[in-house]
Amino acid sequence: MIPAGRRGTTTISARAVARIAQQAATEKGGAVGAVRGAATVRGRRADVSVRLALPWPGELGHRARAVQRHVASRTGELTGLTVRVTRLGVVRLRRSEDSAVAPPPDEEGGAPRRWWSPRSSPAAVIALLGAVPAALLTADVVAVHAFGHAPAGWRSDVVDRLSATRADALPVTVGAIAAVVAGLWLLLLACTPGLRSRYVVAGFPSRRTVAVDRSAVVSLVRDRVLDVSGVDTVRVRVGRRRVRVRAVLAFGDRAAAREEARAAVLGAVDDCRLDRPLRCALRLRTARTWDPVPDENLVNAPAADAPAGAEHGRKETR
């Protein structure tokens, strides 16, 4: 039965809020392709998280910020809720012919914060290791005191072994070292943010954070270098501080191709507008069949409508 205080009121579920946020992310030239959203509703407030693909080339940070603002305002307008925090993750980049470079974002707000991992797996492992022995011991104690059963053999054996073991015995030392190592590991996990494969985008208010997935940066840098004339193969590795690019030149001037490829890498990294810009390292080598004077028909041939990697995802990360 519905309580009297809630009669005549409309309750919006978290699933409905998530669907509205997904639809809002695709409006006004925002996301392209599939959008995934999640929401948590607490009273008249809602926390919305959106994962989407954005078109490029273009100003990634500014476009993500515009989508984030629109999702927050549109979701609040249609639901009547106060959307406090919108977390937006760019997991894919797709080439768009009509995408244009947008102006840089405003430098308002404080320093952006990195996303913190919930550490679900370590927490589950530690909880399981502690819960299983506690459950077995509790069940045996209840069986002894409530039903008059004899203590389990394993419990008596454990008590006898512990009473006969000295404090300086090898098993005690090994167990203490293991406990110390596990404690230090848990402290390290608690004090570090994790999620090293995501980079925070600068230029957003401190109460909102936008992150770019590492695979998206890899795809963007790879395709920018592949647009350089004469470059045949590109391998990209992105770390926390550096972008390493290895390219193979099939034809053309090596020095000119190196400068153009370096400019392409720097431009791709600048377009991501990361909070901590990545340093770039480029290695360009010539192919075995390298031709320093390419055929004019090959150079002047019309470019394909879109490269083979026009649609990027996590599976393209090398």
Q: In this structure, are 187 and 219 located in the same domain?
A: no
Residue type, 227: D
Task: Indicate if 175 and 231 belong to the same structural domain.
Answer: no
Of residues 306, 95, 52, 114, the one with CA closest to residue 220: 95
Confidence at residue 136, expressed as pLDDT on a 0 to 100 scale: 92
The pLDDT, as a whole number, for residue 283 is 93
CA distances from 148 to 140, 143, 145, 152, 177 (A): 11, 7, 6, 12, 39
- The residue range of the domain holding 184 is 120-191
Q: Tell me the percentage of the chain whose pLDDT exceeds 90.
A: 21
- Domain membership of residue 274 (yes or no) is yes
The per-residue pLDDT for 304 is 43
Q: Last residue of some domain: 79, 95, 111?
A: 95
Nearest CA to 224 out of 272, 293, 292, 273 is that of 272
Across 48-61, average pLDDT: 76
Query: How many domains does one find in the chain?
Result: 3
Residue 197 lies in a domain: no
Note whether 167 and 225 are same-domain residues.
no
Tokens representing residue 272 in the block: 């991501």
Q: Is residue 76 domain-shared with residue 125, that is, in the same domain?
A: no
The reply to whether 253 and 306 lie within a common domain is yes
Residue 53 lies in a domain: yes
> What pLDDT band is residue 260 in, cutting at 50, 70 and 90?
very high
Task: Give 271-303 pLDDT, tens digit per residue.
Answer: 888 888 889 999 999 988 888 765 555 445 444
Mean pLDDT, residues 183-189 taken together:
91
Q: Is residue 286 part of a domain?
A: yes
Question: For 149-208, what is the HEC assignment?
Answer: CCCCHHHHHHHHHHHHCCCCCHHHHHHHHHHHHHHHHHHHHHHCCCCCCEEEECCCCCCC
**Of 158, 191, 224, which closes a domain?**
191
**Residue 239 gets which letter from DSSP?**
-
Do 126 and 83 reside in the same domain of the chain? Answer: no
Q: Choose from 6-10, 60-64, 203-207, 305-309 the range with maximum mean pLDDT.
A: 60-64
* 39 pLDDT higher than 70: yes
pLDDT tens per residue across span 10-21: 778 888 888 888
Confidence of residue 2 (pLDDT cuts 50, 70, 90): low
At residue 296, the pLDDT reads 54
Is 103 inside a domain boundary? no
Is 302 among the domain residues? Answer: yes
Q: DSSP character for 305?
A: S
CATH number of the CATH domain containing 16: 3.30.70.1350
pLDDT > 70? residue 243: yes
pLDDT band with cut points at 50, 70 and 90 for residue 112: low
CATH number of the domain bearing residue 309 = 3.30.300
Bridge partner list, 42:
45
215 and 309 housed in the same domain: yes
Q: What is the pLDDT of residue 23?
A: 85
23 domain residue, yes or no: yes
pLDDT for the residue numbered 3:
59
Report the distance separating Cα 194 and Cα 34, nearest Å. Answer: 26
Q: What does the mean pLDDT of the chain come to?
A: 79
The answer to whether residue 105 sits within a structural domain is no
Q: Are residues 14 and 53 in the same domain?
A: yes
